[in-house]
Chains A and B, each alone.
Chain A
Amino acid sequence: MSPRENELIQRAKAGEEEALETIFRLHVEAAVRLAYLITRNWASAEDAVQEAFIQAFRSLASFREGRPFKPWFTKIVVNKSIRAKEQGPRPYQGEEPNPHRLFQPEKRALDKEGLQALFAAINSLDEGHRLPLLLKYFSGLTEAETGAALGLPVSTVKSRLYTARQRLKKQLEN
């Protein structure tokens, strides 16, 4: 944990609203995007992250200082997102980003590289293999942190990541 993050956590534990808001702004975008990748629905993602922040801030007293905040919070986001996904998709009030708008030059270029096909393949994985992939390659967690977030031994995380990459390769070859 950086000295700045440690200081923020201490201030947040003392009930300083400004510190809580700073922590929120540091983590919100990555959290919503991860929640979206899990739920595949923006409204569910925002709801999940909202509940995750509330739970995290209410449980902050039990958070041990000196440990990094991100893996601890990511675990809460994952749990809330899985629950939100189980409740089904919801209509989104904001502007829905559309990854299939192929008239965008940037998207066209990316599609040439097969990234959309790769993304579709990732989403076709079962959750047992997809979630470790998201935490490792999107959230940037270590394999140990991924295991802690998902309640899996590190050896299982390694094995699932390997299997997931193999399955993606096979799908993209077909």
Chain B
Amino acid sequence: MADEKRIKEALEINSRWSGSADQLWARISPRLRPKGPWRQQRQFWLGTAAAALLILAFFLKAVQSPLPPPAEPEENPQLRSFSALPEEEALLRAPGETIEFTLQVFPAPEGQQLGPPLLAITRLEEDQEPFLVEEIILDLEILGEVSGEAASFTLALQAPGRAGFYHYRAQGSFQQDGIVYNLQGAMEVEVQED
């Protein structure tokens, strides 16, 4: 039988890397940072939108508030941290439990329309590519209350039935009374079975 030590040696001497870790890191690190204008970060699969059409169940509350429009990532020094990582601690929920998901709505800056308002739910597996679980077109009848100002809304959603780690992201544009609004929201949810 082949000697284990010699197998290790054979693999060791035939895999010496002459490349540069610095160069490789230079290729990786930009892809972990925010990518310029927020509207360029959309990663929705529009082809599945029709099949996933869902009327939003209800809004728990619609709070009129003088929230300023969120800053663009490149203008916000706090976003030097990596956008791919969760910005906050994941919300812990049991399967099927209610999740409160906050949306921010604000008049769209000139030329920054984001397409249809969509909510994408992505499952994150330890060793897999992120998997799109569901994509929902938001029915935003409630947005008659926006009245030209920034506002935040809390949606009541149901946690997935399967334990795991999920990323929720909503964004899109809509027009009302001649004003174009953008909406956005993101959160991480960890579903744990008892």
Contacts and interface: CB of A to CB of B under 8 A. Distances in A.
Nearest to A15: B81
A43 to B, nearest CB: 10
Interface stretch (B11-19, B54-62, B144-152): B11-19
Nearest to A37: B15
A14 interface: yes
B85 interface: yes
A168 B4 CA distance: 11
B81 A16 contact: yes
Nearest to B124: A62
Contacts of A33: 15-17
B126 A133 contact: no
A5 to B, nearest CB: 16
Given A118-B10, A137-B7, A94 B20 contact: yes
Interface string B115-140: 00000000011110110000000000
Contacts of A97: 16-18
A34 B21 CA distance: 15
B14 A99 contact: yes
A61 B7 contact: no
Given A58-B130, A61-B165, A165 B1 contact: yes
Interface string A110-126: 10011110110110000
Which size bracket describes the interface of A in this complex? 35 or more
18 contacts: A15-B81, A15-B87, A28-B24, A29-B17, A32-B24, A54-B32, A58-B130, A62-B124, A62-B126, A62-B165, A79-B127, A94-B20, A95-B18, A97-B16, A97-B17, A113-B9, A119-B10, A138-B12
Contact of A58 (B8, B15, B20, B84): B84
Interface of A: 12-17, 20-21, 24-25, 28-29, 32-34, 36-37, 42, 46, 49-50, 53-55, 57-63, 72, 75-76, 79, 94-97, 99, 107, 110, 113-116, 118-119, 121-122, 133-134, 137-138, 165-166, 168-169, 172
Nearest to A139: B11
Task: Name which of A33, A60, A62, A166 has the most chain B CB atoms within 10 A of its CB.
Answer: A62
Contacts, number: 143
Contact of B29 (A21, A36, A76, A172): A21
Given A14-B81, A50-B24, A61-B86, A138 B126 contact: no
Interface residues of B, number: 43
A23 B82 CA distance: 15
B90 interface: yes
A24 B11 contact: no
A166 B4 CA distance: 11
Task: Name which of B19, B24, B29 has the most chain A CB atoms within 10 A of its CB.
Answer: B19
Interface in B3-57: 4, 6-21, 24-25, 27-29, 31-32
B12 A72 contact: no
